[in-house]
Amino acid sequence: MKKNKLIHLSGRVQNVGFRYSTMQVARQYGITGFVKNNVDGTVTIEAEGEEENLNQFVEWAKQGPPPARIDHANIQESPVQDYQEFRIK
């Protein structure tokens, strides 16, 4: 059963290859949705997929790629949007 999570991350999450790494990992887990930088220096991810894969993806996102540093992660359930792919906005 598909689930959707809205993930807001703060810390050192911009200018570290975060969006590109997120897209690669999302594709590995079969996750659809998007990742985007926000003007306040945070990153937003909307991720949709099967529950087990989605949970593993969320655990990865809470760590991020090196050299990112996640200071705060806010993760919320969100309505399923039926995204067809994962992309960088």
Active-site amino acid positions:
19, 37
**At a CB cut-off of 8 Å and minimum separation 6, what does 52 contact?**
none
Q: HEC states along 8-68?
A: EEEEECCCCCHHHHHHHHHHHHCCEEEEEECCCCCEEEEEEEEHHHHHHHHHHHCCCCCCC
